[in-house]
Chain A
Amino acid sequence: MNKVKSLADLKKMKEQLQGKIDLREKGESPEGRVQIKVAMATCGIASGAKTVMEFLIDELEKRSIDAVVTQTGCMGYCYAEPTIEVKLPNQEPVVFGYVDTQKADEIVEKYIKNGELVDGIIPMNYNTIDN
């Protein structure tokens, strides 16, 4: 495959991309997907949230898990950064603390794939994570 370097190259790739995305998203509603939020404030970034977020984006794709990874602000658990919130379809969100790439791997393999809870859950006592 030729490397994409310009907008013109990107345009040429468009149909191929469209095909792949249509195939994957057929019949999938946003609620049916795994939703992950990575806390990305100063505390999270300083603790390595960027590495964890990139790891999640790359690994979820490699392991064929349909998920949306987004970022959020500080949830107030600065001591436990990096923290991530995982929401499985039709379930309450769960917040995990001290998530490095190894922990993220465990969360993907055990919690996201099998629904098995793993160590490091932070009990939720907040209503909003955006403020």
Chain B
Amino acid sequence: MKELSLHILDIAQNSLVAGATLIEVSVNANTETDILRIEITDNGKGIAPEVLPIVMDPYTTSRTTRKVGMGLPLLKDACEMSGGSLTITSEVGKGTAIKAMLGYGHIDRQPLGDISGVIMLLVSANINVDFIYKHSLNGNEYIFDTREIKEVLEGLPLNSPEVYKLLKEMLSLNLDEIQIR
């Protein structure tokens, strides 16, 4: 896992498995404070209080197909490598919030990578889930909200190749103007 956008793809998967219907991802960079914040918030089933302290343990997983769960530990490691940290808060029945803080200019900070590609994969592979993506650099923000898009497209499927291509183009055009490395 060498790009932050791939970590986002991975962590969002947890939200999907938790039955979330709305997932908000935000990437917020500030060159002044030299901090890159990544937050993934969902309205899924949440994590039980007794499990919460051990979720960062790679040998903790709720899956039955295997005994390891590497997603969160890998992201935590990526944060700490850049002088940052990862915190997770959750309430059963309400949802979970993952907050990653990284050193923006730190030499060991992984690059953001293809974030528009990742967001579009999540959107097109899970058309019944809504996604909000907030992308901001030094206060200059772009918000991509599938609830607004679905309203405009009035029932056209977001996973049809035509719509996928157009939305991907729209997202990358806007993100190109707010480039976070």
We find that the number of chain A residues with CB closer than 8 angstroms to chain B is 41
| In the complex, chain A residues whose CB is within 8 Å of the CB of B157 | 21
B50 touches A (CB below 8 Å): no
Given contacts A5-B173, A50-B117, A131-B65, whether A21 and B156 have CB atoms under 8 Å apart is yes
| In the complex, chain B residues whose CB is within 8 Å of the CB of A31 | none
Given contacts A45-B6, A50-B6, whether A57 and B124 have CB atoms under 8 Å apart is yes
* Cβ–Cβ contact A17 & B65, under 8 A: no
* Cβ–Cβ contact A14 & B161, under 8 A: no
B125 touches A (CB below 8 Å): yes
* Cβ–Cβ contact B63 & A74, under 8 A: yes
* Cβ–Cβ contact B17 & A10, under 8 A: no
Provide the bound-state CA to CA distance between A61 and B90, in Å: 40
A121 touches B (CB below 8 Å): no
| In the complex, chain A residues whose CB is within 8 Å of the CB of B17 | 73, 130
* Cβ–Cβ contact A10 & B170, under 8 A: yes
**Surface stretch bound by B, among A64-72, A84-92, A97-105, A108-116:** A64-72
Interface size class of B (residues with CB under 8 A): 35 or more
Give the residues from 133 to 167 in chain B that come closer than 8 angstroms, CB to CB, to chain A: 148-149, 152-154, 156-157, 159-167
* Cβ–Cβ contact B170 & A40, under 8 A: no
* Cβ–Cβ contact A74 & B148, under 8 A: no
Count: A-B pairs, CB below 8 Å: 105
B10 touches A (CB below 8 Å): yes
| In the complex, chain A residues whose CB is within 8 Å of the CB of B74 | 42
Given contacts A10-B153, A46-B1, whether A74 and B170 have CB atoms under 8 Å apart is no
Provide the bound-state CA to CA distance between A130 and B63, in Å: 9
Q: Which residue of A lies closest to B145 (CB)?
A: A7
* Cβ–Cβ contact B154 & A13, under 8 A: no
Provide the bound-state CA to CA distance between A5 and B118, in Å: 18
The distance from the CB of A64 to the nearest CB of chain B, in whole angstroms, is 10
The digit string for B36-47, where 1 denotes a CB below 8 A from any CB of A, is 000000000000
B81 touches A (CB below 8 Å): no
A120 touches B (CB below 8 Å): no
| In the complex, chain B residues whose CB is within 8 Å of the CB of A38 | 125
Sample of 25 A–B contacts (CB below 8 Å): A5-B170, A7-B149, A17-B166, A18-B156, A20-B162, A41-B10, A41-B13, A42-B1, A42-B69, A43-B70, A46-B1, A46-B6, A50-B114, A50-B121, A54-B117, A54-B121, A57-B161, A61-B161, A69-B159, A73-B13, A73-B63, A75-B65, A78-B66, A126-B65, A131-B64
B residues touching A (Cβ–Cβ < 8 Å)?
Answer: 1, 6, 9-10, 13, 17, 63-66, 69-71, 74, 114, 117-118, 121, 124-126, 148-149, 152-154, 156-157, 159-167, 169-170, 173-174
A residues touching B (Cβ–Cβ < 8 Å)?
Answer: 3-7, 9-11, 13-14, 17-18, 20-21, 24-25, 38, 40-43, 45-46, 50, 53-54, 57, 60-61, 68-71, 73-76, 78, 126, 130-131
